[in-house]
Amino acid sequence: MHAWILPVLLVGLVATGCGSSSSKAATTISKKETTTTLSKLSGNVTVSAAASLTEAFGKIGADFHTANPNATITFNVGSSGALELQIESGAPADTFASADQANMTKLQAKNLVDPPVVFARNRLVIVTKPGNPKQVKTLADLANVGVVSLCGLTVPCGKYAAQILQTAGVTIPETKVTRGIDVKGTLQAVASGDADAAIVYVTDAKSAGAMVATVTIPAAQNAIAVYPIATVKASGNAAVSDAFITYVTSAKGQATLRSFGFLPAS
């Protein structure tokens, strides 16, 4: 898990308060939000984001730089479950972007976040070493391919992988499985040659480029990961957090997410 800091450009509605009123404005995507005058809000926010959002949110953060140098955003990336536990334990966070609904729901149940909004979806894909030397063609091939890298069982990408393997009736001996702490670590096992194949998100396979080969999982056997985002109630700068969410859900933010392979929110 790691973090980086970028100045923030805030586009859309000016959010002036904390709590549910400012969050409500962030949950609605409309043309009005994306055509209003640029806001010049200032201050710092920490966005705890699922590891699979690393590249897309990095681009979104970079887009913020030119318009509002007085506001900064720190991205704290990792598995959604680890980030949820951090927030529950009181670690500094203003915004939470999860790769599943379950971890967001845990925080909602404890009244630790404002009402979330779904901003993207994702799919799973098989990745192999470049050139696909083991000739993996289907999920069934993973049972005998060699070492398979999967996300941890409590990590969203691990849960999704377990779901699709069960649906396909495929069992991989645990002695042949290596598990990553998040999707980045899971993919890296293949890129470094430590594993023969892995199940990761389409977006991470796309970001890896020539480091891996990809094998499409048919829609009937695949799973859809749902990504919600919300302002943390303990945020010291809810206005900036809400404005960030508004940008992520705006036409520009959505275009950036699509360019990295994410599916629309609905």
Cα(171)–Cα(206) distance, integer angstroms: 26
Listed as ranges, residues in the chain with pLDDT below 50 are 1, 4-37
Beta partners for residue 126, in sequence order = 199, 215
Angle between helices 54-64 and 251-259 (to 10 degrees): 140
In this predicted structure, what is the pLDDT of residue 39?
Answer: 53
Q: What are the structure tokens assigned to 249, written together?
A: 């859900």
In this predicted structure, what is the pLDDT of residue 66?
Answer: 66
Residue-level length of the chain: 266
Nearest to 15 by CA among 262, 192, 235: 235
Per the rule left: phi > 0, alpha: psi between -120 and 50, beta: everything else, 49 is: beta
Does residue 200 contact residue 125 with C-beta atoms inside 8 Å?
yes
* CA–CA–CA angle 225, 229, 234 (5° rounding): 140
Cα(114)–Cα(26) distance, integer angstroms: 10
Q: What structural domains does the chain harbor? A: 2-120+226-259 (3.40.190.10), 122-224 (3.40.190.10)
